[in-house]
Structure 1
């Protein structure tokens, strides 16, 4: 499927997702399965599912985005072993996709009540992104609230 066809599916899905979420779900997954490069679509899907409060598929697509962006960036092993200098020379868009997927993984772990996993991911993200370009501070504040009992 061409990029233009995938883009058309995405636009249709996003335009009609409130009226027909099941159709949008199908269209997004189909577009992802047909895309030459599904990595950018993983973010669309984990945000879509999170917005629908369907956290299991959101976690699945965030994990896919994290694994694929890490593979492309040449990062091996679990995120806890990654260091900032490993991102030196990584294309800006790819580094951004990696950081956003890691942030989503942390957020979704927090939503699942797994504060330990969220904390591990947030610590890595803070090390990889000390400038907070990914918005890690927002998720970190939510995690702090969860630990204080202020976040459901």
Structure 2
């Protein structure tokens, strides 16, 4: 197994050391050895399925290589885990702005980031209607656009 002798490439926040090590190794490898990076990200998830950064590593990896089905599956996994950690209904359509008010903690931010990821991937898959519904929900949940969904909003407008 590859051993890296360097500082962390990405600050993922507090994670179990073994999970952080796998994610750091995957980040170092993802451009040249995407299959190896994916294996490391999945090993990190196997060690700690509640580690949201591992889900986001998978999303970014698959999205970068235009593997939209796999990216979508990872985004749904991230969304399910983040919403579970927040105690939210599994159906994002039921979520209300009040639930997110004054909640800057990681799982709440990650929940909105995962919702944004699903919207972006739906758009990249050519599924405009679900992407639009997700962005409309993000407008309601995050009117300040803290997670940056306005980029997807602009893409939706440009492709209308």
TM-score, length-scaled by structure 1 = 0.88
Q: In the alignment, which of 139, 144, 152 is matched to residue 152 of structure 2?
A: 139
Could you say which residue in structure 2 is the equivalent of 1:46?
59
Q: Over residues 34-69 of structure 1, what are the superposed CA-to-partner deviations in whole Å (9 max), with x where a residue is unaligned?
A: 126332211111011111111111101110111121
Partner of 2:26: 13
Q: Which runs of 5+ in 1 are unaligned?
A: 148-152
User: Which SS does the other structure have where 2:159 is aligned?
Assistant: helix
Give the deviation of 1:105 after TM superposition.
0.5
Tell me, yes or no, if structure 1 residue 70 matches structure 2 residue 87. no
Q: Which of 110, 115, 119 pairs up with 1:97? A: 110
Pick one of 31, 46, 59 that aligns with 2:72. Answer: 59
Higher helix share: 1
- Report the Cα offset of residue 6 of structure 1: 1.7
Structure 2 unmatched ranges of 5 or more: 1-14
List 4+ stretches of structure 1 deviating above 4 A. Answer: none
- In 1: Cα distance, 2:122 partner to 2:49 partner: 29
Q: Aligned partners of 1:43 and 1:16: how far apart in 2?
A: 16
Name the residue aligned to 1:125. Answer: 138
1:12 & 1:92 partners in 2: Cα distance?
26
Q: Offset at 1:143?
A: 1.2
Aligned residues: 146
Structure 1 residue 28 and structure 2 residue 28: aligned? no
Specify which structure has the bigger relative contact order, considering alpha-carbon pairs within 8 angstroms and separated by 6 or more residues.
1
Q: CA RMSD in A?
A: 1.7
1:36–1:79 distance in 2 versus 1, CA, 3 Å: closer
